Structure 1
């Protein structure tokens, strides 16, 4: 493993108020989308209860709704306000299990018990950063020792972009401004609010990140 960079918690960041407003908007959008998705899921279940024969088309609809619901729950944790609440292990593993169904990604959440919402928010943003380096899929392992978190991405083929990851580890490097890479812009802010520093090591078949 070769160490890449270390991010200091006092990096230059956006004003807290702007970030907090964006998080509230994200949470509101997720909340408003969750209700109609839940209604669709309930409607499909009622159709099956009436004796309608299951078909590949219905199964596809059910899987799509479940995936979208899991993605919204993920977004609510990753992009919503951190807050003082704690997040239970059951909720996290349920989201990860649902979101990985039918994909080439798998998640191994080894953390026992619940965790502060702000820390889970940072982990979910970090997971999204690591997913960008796994074009052919892979396995992501999340662990915590005392107060330190470690997330490791394993894959036979990695796409590690040093210039992209430098935005996490160097305040002088501007954050990406594309929607697909918004997690790279938000993770430094989440870590700064926790008073944490990020360390990243990249090798031929795995990337290890700690904070």
Structure 2
């Protein structure tokens, strides 16, 4: 099987960033133990490092390599999602360990849903024995059919070539499509301005 170089690059970047962020976290803990006052500036640095660590862990799953048969524990997934803070809350209701390929696709679809929710909201994920279901609710949602066509089958189909509109900020839509193909999944999306439903 050919190497997935974009995923390998994602894994390498996340791996190399985790170490210095961990060192900064350790340094901040030592400063706190030394009795230094927790000023607003120190609190801002501490919170920023925690957020950066959480995003790197999230990106490592979403953009990193997912080898055949590799598993990821439910507790790790929930730990990652609990640490990520933003305008969108993720309610992960799937209750079992899963393959890293499944988790990769799920995390990429979370990013796709977040991009469609400029004012934030709630993303609920459920999984039964055969099907994943995502429900995203928020105010003034703005899904772009041309981008969603890269990640899932949608109706009606947009005109033109969706890849013509992909920017660096939207690359997760294209990657979700590739991850779905690699996992043998066929996501379908129902797009609305108050609710988006995705299943595979």
Q: What is the TM-score normalised by the length of structure 1?
A: 0.86
Q: Which runs of 4+ in 1 moved over 4 A?
A: none
Could you tell me how far apart the structure 2 residues matched to 1:167 and 1:34 are? 30
The residue number in structure 1 matching 2:87 is 104
Preserved CA contact (<8 Å) 1:133 1:160: yes
Distance in 1, Cα, partners of 2:150 & 2:23? 40
Alpha carbons 2:90, 2:122 under 8 Å: kept: yes
Q: 1:53 is matched with which residue?
A: 37
The reply to whether residue 129 of structure 1 matches residue 112 of structure 2 is yes
Aligned position for 1:115: 98
1:28 partnered with 2:12: yes
Task: After TM superposition, give the deviation of residue 147 of structure 1 in Å.
Answer: 2.8
Aligned to 1:62: 46
Mean Cα deviation higher: 33-42 or 164-173: 164-173
What is the aligned partner in structure 1 of residue 161 from structure 2?
173
CA contact (8 A) 1:77 1:124 kept: yes
**Alpha-carbon deviation of 1:113?**
2.2
Structure 1 portions without partners, runs of 5+: 1-15
1:80 Cα deviation from its structure 2 partner: 0.9
What TM-score, normalized to structure 2? Answer: 0.91
Work out the CA distance in 2 between the residues paired with 1:40 and 1:116. Answer: 31
Q: Alignment length, in residue pairs?
A: 193
Show CA shifts across 1:168-190 (max 9, x none). 33797332431101101111111
Structure 2 portions without partners, runs of 5+ = none
Q: Note if contact 1:166-1:173 (Cα within 8 Å) is conserved in structure 2.
A: no
Q: Which moves more between the two structures, 86-95 or 114-123? A: 86-95
Residue by residue over 1:148-196, the C-alpha shift from the partner in whole angstroms, topping out at 9 and shown as x without a partner, is 1111111122112122222333797332431101101111111111111
The CA RMSD over aligned residues, in Å, is 1.7
CA distance in 2, matches of 1:72, 1:66: 10
Highest RCO, 1 vs 2 (Cα 8 Å, sep ≥ 6): 1
How far apart are the structure 2 equivalents of 1:181 and 1:160? Answer: 12
Residue 153 in structure 1 maps to residue 142 in structure 2: no
What's 2:175 paired with? 186
Instruction: Indicate if the aligned counterparts of 1:23 and 1:81 stay in contact, CA closer than 8 A.
Output: yes
| Partner Cα separation in structure 1 for residue 150 and residue 181 of structure 2 | 14
1:121-143 deviations in Å (ceiling 9; x for gaps): 00001011111110001001111
Which of 8, 17, 27 lines up with 2:2 in the alignment?
Answer: 17
